[in-house]
């Protein structure tokens, strides 16, 4: 009698005909010995069901109502895990139940992301579906260490055709779910609640291609939705849509690990909100940032479109950073000397963004000297912050900090209440509105070493008048037009320092400001041309 026939007889009593079952066997984990009492370790029984389905060519492993305690489970090709709505797969609280399984692919994550409740590597056609719950019992691993001794809920490595649908995933001991070097991944209707310990990201997509994340609700202490690149492959062809996202750190982030970068990414129709039902472990109670785009390890970010997003209550709604931390794929990789391996960040579009109740820090788009961020546009963007910034902050020096860990608050309170841009070429601001709830003594917009750029239809609210609304330092061919500031007794533009040239003010309504522009003592008057403006 052949082996498949023997296995088929052993599983004959399993449930059949469930709603998520594809072709192949349907195996009820109770039939292979799993005990649904939340106390009895059922790892071996559940693994038996998974392996049995795989040997039959694929099928569904079904969890009926109950609490199933388990250590690491290894997923197999063409096997679906289905959890009934009242079923909970509960992670063991004992580290010994999670064997270390480093990825075969060289990756920085092999130092700290090597244990998990569910694990898959080199698989095809795997799925986790149903309305049940994966619970990592993460409070048992309350720790700051990065020694690989805190289990994730789900690790999927070098797999193809992965579906995670309608599952609730909560209380991981480390990142909630990590997809590394995968192809064709879909997360649909997933609910994440991850607040049990430190470093509890919601979703990490790392060096993957062809990924769709749709209709998800993500709420985590650490970064909620994080694209990474810890291998020699970029994150590429990524779509995020119709999600509600909340984090005490960064709601949506590309980085920090960015060795190969990110290409062809669209994020649309999402709501980002400050945490409402959790207390901070790491980060800020309100959340550090709404959207952070970061290249600091030599990679390339290219073709990123972010549209139709609301952001409410976080400290910094938008942060874009090109730095030079220089981490490689492996922990042992020698950090490059100098700046010859600085990456590139270009072709990024923000449109139809409304951010309210932001903090005092200010948004920023910041590159490095000689390494400019290129072609970033903000169109139909409103940023409303709390205000209350001091006029003295406008003249404070902002350090370069090329090697520092990138974070939206890394420079402290910025010279601009709304948007601070430095080392950028091809910046476009069109119909951008910068508001504060209370008067703010800083500039609303600062452009420092910004080249070949345009500002069209910029508007403001609640400036204090203590400082000019806009400041340009070392600007090179920047046009400002279509603005109608309302600041009686104040100045619209200040040109600071000797390095500016090709600045043009045209087609603006300056009838409600005391002065259209002023030049610092060192500024070259020939560097600015004002023409076709309406003045008092």
Neighbours of 395 (CB within 10 A): 12
For the chain, the helix, strand and coil percentages under 3-state DSSP, each to the nearest 5 = 10, 50, 40
352/361 Cα distance (integer angstroms): 22
How many angstroms separate the first and last alpha carbons of the chain?
Answer: 98
Look at residue 329 in the predicted model and tell me its pLDDT: 67
CB 245 within 8 A of CB 271: yes
CB atoms near residue 136 (< 10 Å): 31
SS3 122: coil
Calculate the CA 187 to chain-centre distance: 15
Read off the pLDDT of residues 11-24 as tens digits, 9 standing for 90 and up: 433 433 333 334 47
Residue by residue, what is the 3-state secondary structure of 363-408?
EEEECECCECEEEEEEEEEEEEECCCCCHHHHHCCCCCCCCCCCCC
To which residue do tokens 């709404």 refer?
290
Q: Residue 248: name the closest of 196, 296, 188 by CA.
A: 196
Both tokens of 173, joined, read: 């001991």
CB 122 within 8 A of CB 157: yes
Helix (H, G, I), strand (E, B) or coil at 6: helix
CA angle 358, 303, 323 (to 5 degrees): 60
Tokens matching residue 185? 């991944």
Domains of the chain and any CATH numbers = 1-222 (2.160.20.10)
Average pLDDT, the chain: 93
Reported as a single tens digit per residue, the pLDDT across 10-57 is 443 343 333 333 447 899 999 999 999 999 999 999 999 999 999 999
The band of 243, judged by pLDDT with boundaries at 50, 70 and 90, is very high
**pTM of the shown model:** 0.94
Q: What is the CA radius of gyration of the chain?
A: 26
What is the pLDDT confidence band of residue 321, given thresholds at 50, 70 and 90? very high
Question: What region, left, alpha or beta, does residue 326 occupy, with left being phi > 0 and alpha being psi -120 to 50 degrees?
Answer: left
Q: What is the pLDDT of residue 5?
A: 34
Q: What is the pLDDT of residues 83-103, one digit of tens each?
A: 999 999 999 999 999 999 999
Residue 340 has pLDDT above 70, yes or no: no
């Amino acid at each position: 009698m052949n082996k498949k026939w023997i296995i088929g007889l052993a599983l004959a009593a399993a449930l059949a005909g469930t709603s998520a079952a594809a072709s192949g066997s349907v195996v009820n984990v109770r039939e292979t010995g799993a005990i649904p009492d939340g106390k009895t370790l059922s790892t071996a029984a559940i693994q038996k069901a998974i392996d049995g389905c795989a040997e039959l060519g694929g099928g569904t492993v079904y969890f009926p109502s109950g609490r199933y305690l388990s250590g690491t489970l290894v997923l197999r090709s063409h096997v679906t895990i289905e959890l009934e709505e009242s079923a909970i797969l509960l992670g063991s609280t004992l580290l010994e139940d999670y064997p270390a399984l480093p990825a075969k692919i060289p990756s920085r994550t092999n130092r700290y992301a090597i244990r998990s409740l569910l694990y898959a590597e080199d698989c095809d056609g795997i799925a986790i579906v149903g309305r049940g719950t994966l619970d990592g019992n993460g409070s048992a691993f309350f720790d700051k260490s990065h020694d690989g001794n805190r289990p994730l809920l789900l690790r999927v490595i070098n797999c193809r055709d992965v579906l995670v649908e309608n599952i609730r995933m909560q209380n991981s001991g480390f990142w909630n779910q990590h997809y590394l070097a995968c192809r064709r991944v879909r997360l649909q209707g997933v609910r994440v609640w991850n607040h049990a310990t430190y470093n509890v990201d919601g979703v990490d997509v790392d060096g993957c291609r062809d990924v769709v994340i749709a209709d998800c609700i993500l709420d985590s202490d650490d970064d909620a939705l994080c694209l990474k690149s810890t291998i020699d492959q970029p994150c590429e062809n990524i779509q995020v849509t119709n999600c509600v996202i909340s984090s005490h750190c960064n709601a949506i982030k590309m980085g920090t690990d960015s060795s190969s970068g990110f290409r062809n990414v669209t994020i649309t129709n999402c709501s980002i909100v400050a945490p409402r039902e959790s207390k901070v472990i790491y980060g800020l109670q309100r959340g550090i940032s709404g959207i952070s785009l970061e290249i600091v390890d030599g990679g390339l970010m290219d073709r990123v479109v972010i549209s139709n997003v609301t952001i409410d209550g976080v400290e910094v709604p938008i942060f874009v950073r090109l730095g030079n931390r220089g981490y490689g794929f492996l922990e042992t990789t020698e950090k490059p000397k100098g700046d010859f391996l600085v990456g590139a960040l270009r072709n990024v579009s923000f449109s139809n963004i409304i951010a309210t109740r932001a903090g005092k820090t200010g948004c920023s788009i910041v590159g490095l000297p000689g390494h400019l961020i290129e072609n970033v546009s903000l169109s139909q963007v409103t940023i409303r912050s709390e205000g209350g910034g001091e006029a003295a902050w406008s003249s404070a020096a902002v350090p370069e900090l090329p090697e520092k860990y990138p974070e939206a608050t890394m420079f402290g309170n910025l010279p601009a209440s709304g948007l601070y841009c430095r080392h950028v070429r091809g910046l476009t601001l069109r119909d951008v509105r910068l508001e504060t709830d209370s008067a703010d003594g800083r500039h609303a917009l600062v452009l420092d070493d910004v080249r070949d750029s345009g500002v069209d239809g910029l508007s403001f609210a609640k400036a204090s008048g203590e400082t000019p609304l806009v400041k340009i330092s070392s600007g090179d061919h920047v046009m400002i037009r279509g603005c109608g500031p309302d600041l009686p007794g104040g100045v619209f533009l200040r040109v600071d320092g000797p390095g500016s040239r090709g600045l043009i003010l045209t087609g603006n309504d300056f009838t409600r400001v005391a002065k259209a522009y002023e030049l610092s003592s060192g500024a070259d008057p020939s560097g600015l041309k004002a023409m076709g403006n309406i003045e008092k």
